[in-house]
Amino acid sequence: MNRVERLIEIARKKKRVVIGLMSGTSVDAIDAVLVRIEGNARDGARVEKLRFGSFGFPQEIQTRIKLLFERERDRKLTDPVTGEHPAPWTIEEICHLDFVLGELFAQAANRLIADAGMKADDVDLIAAAGQTIWHRPRPTTEPSTADLPWLDDPITTRSTLAIGQAAVIAERTGIITMGDLRVRDVAAGGHGAPLVAYFDWGQLRHPKLARAMQNIGGIANVTFIPPNATLDAVIAFDTGPGNMVIDSLMYLVTKGAETFDRDGERASRGTVRDDVLAWCMSDPYFQLKPPKTTGRERFGRQFAARMAERFTDVAPDDLIATATAFTAESIAHAYREFIGSHVDEMIVAGGGAKNPALLQKLRERLPDTEIKVYEFLQEKEAMAMALIASDSISGLDTNVASVTGGNSTILGKICL
Ligand SMILES: Nc1ncnc2c1ncn2[C@@H]1O[C@H](COP(=O)(O)OP(=O)(O)O)[C@@H](O)[C@H]1O
Ligand SMILES: [Mg+2]
């Protein structure tokens, strides 16, 4: 059977074994999940987890990827550990890391298959969203195209860039790979995020309860699903920072020794400074109406550095407590301002769900909402990518147009 015949065979299957690969804005690890999927999101797909693995990045690679997010004008930022100014990134570095990440994603998939006691032939499809390194959610017009005689309208577009070559993943695993999941939605006029809303709706809609699926990764995003919702009734957007500001401040105050506040220990010891919290909440992002997306460009190292520089009198534990309250407050603010109806249950996933201080601060701010931790808290995003790829192979539209702001479309690029 040649590769195209194999693709057609997979497209016709009712049940598929799929690997979802995910690395979020924290750049901490590749989350890889092996699932068996029966049906599709519309008919309430059965997604059975067979195996999960989290494959940590070497610190060196993590640092280099994070550097790709830094804005050129903020390059004066000094690394608190080495004291060095980051070298300007080059297209050569991006090009190289695209393939290095492709290799790492591929080896994570191969290791996961071996750990599950399976073979590559047992797997139908790999889904890889890629590592987003730049995201430009604001539509930008190219002035030079305004007077071009062969164009009806000047070019106006959003853009997003993810690395982790799907071609390398397909080549190294021998498995048909669907990569670059976000770009088609951007081409369709959307933000390219949050993609996970499709999975949340497919797996977690409830006949009677209004549910908010709150993911707290580097960035935090919510999917609000009214009782018995149809896909176009879903609301989803980035609420703001997840762990990103906490992580960056931990790196700063420990001079690089620690990259996150394990179990919220420092936040629990510290006291929230209301003036600092108010300064954080004054960021214009919180006044924008959905659809809206954000990233490391806004709430990354520069944000944390500005916060620490402005409030030099704040003790390190108080700074971490305030950053933790900032995440909780920005989530609660988003629910109050932009969801507009009562939320019965908040189901939390992502690394932030492992931070008890953060959960506590959420509970204080949303006393009428029951806050639970999702059983697949670390797997969820990778599972979502797997479901999206599986449904795309079935020929279904897989973005949630009402939340990304684009047209309904089918996501993914296929490497045979
Ligand atoms: N035990 C823990 N205590 C506190 N925070 C944690 C814990 N485990 C993970 N985290 C946080 O979760 C982050 C990773 O979350 P993750 O969901 O993988 O985000 P992303 O999707 O951005 O990669 C870490 O950077 C850290 O801040
Ligand atoms: Mg992660």
Tell me which H or E stretch contains 59: helix 59-68
Among 58-62, 105-109, 144-148, which range has the highest average pLDDT?
A: 105-109
Tell me the angle at which helices 274-281 and 301-310 cross, rounded to the nearest 10 degrees: 140
Q: What is the predicted pLDDT for the residue at 82? A: 63
Mean pLDDT on 225-250: 95
**Ligand 1 midpoint to CA 216 (Å):** 8
Q: What is the predicted pLDDT for the residue at 153? A: 93
Tell me which of 355, 358, 373 to substitute to probe ligand 1's pocket, judged by most ligand atoms within 8 Å of the beta carbon. 355
Mean pLDDT on 162-171: 97
Q: What is the predicted pLDDT for the residue at 327? A: 98
260 lines ligand 1 (CB under 6 A): yes
Q: What is the predicted pLDDT for the residue at 291? A: 85
**Whether the model pTM is above 0.85:** yes
Q: What is the predicted pLDDT for the residue at 72? A: 53
351 lines ligand 1 (CB under 6 A): yes
Give the pLDDT confidence of 300-334 residue by residue, as tens digits: 888 999 999 999 999 999 999 999 999 999 999 99
**Ligand 1 midpoint to CA 243 (Å):** 6
135 pLDDT tier (thresholds 50, 70, 90): confident
Tell me which of 22, 65, 243, 268 to substitute to probe ligand 1's pocket, judged by most ligand atoms within 8 Å of the beta carbon. 243
Who wins on pLDDT, 291 or 8? Answer: 8
Mean pLDDT on 12-39: 95
Q: What is the DSSP string of 60-129?
A: HHHHHHHHHTS-GGGTTPPPTTT-PPPPPP-HHHHHHHHHHHHHHHHHHHHHHHHHTT--GGG--EEEE-
State the ligand closest to the CA atom of 29. Answer: 2
Q: Is the pLDDT of residue 272 over 70?
A: yes
**Ligand 1, atom nearest to 26 Cα:** 22
State the ligand closest to the CA atom of 217. Answer: 1
Tell me the angle at which helices 356-365 and 316-334 cross, rounded to the nearest 10 degrees: 50
243 lines ligand 1 (CB under 6 A): yes
**Ligand 1 midpoint to CA 267 (Å):** 15
Q: What is the DSSP string of 240-257?
A: EESSHHHHHHHHHHTTTS
Who wins on pLDDT, 89 or 230? Answer: 230
In the chain the domains, ranked by start, together with CATH numbers, are 3-195+379-415 (3.30.420.40), 205-373 (3.30.420.40)
Mean pLDDT on 210-235: 95
130 pLDDT tier (thresholds 50, 70, 90): very high
Give the pLDDT confidence of 386-412 residue by residue, as tens digits: 999 999 999 999 999 999 999 999 999
63 pLDDT tier (thresholds 50, 70, 90): confident
**Ligand 1, atom nearest to 247 Cα:** 27
Q: Is the pLDDT of residue 47 over 80?
A: yes
Q: What is the mean pLDDT of the chain?
A: 93
Mean pLDDT on 14-43: 95
Q: What is the predicted pLDDT for the residue at 81? A: 62
258 lines ligand 1 (CB under 6 A): no
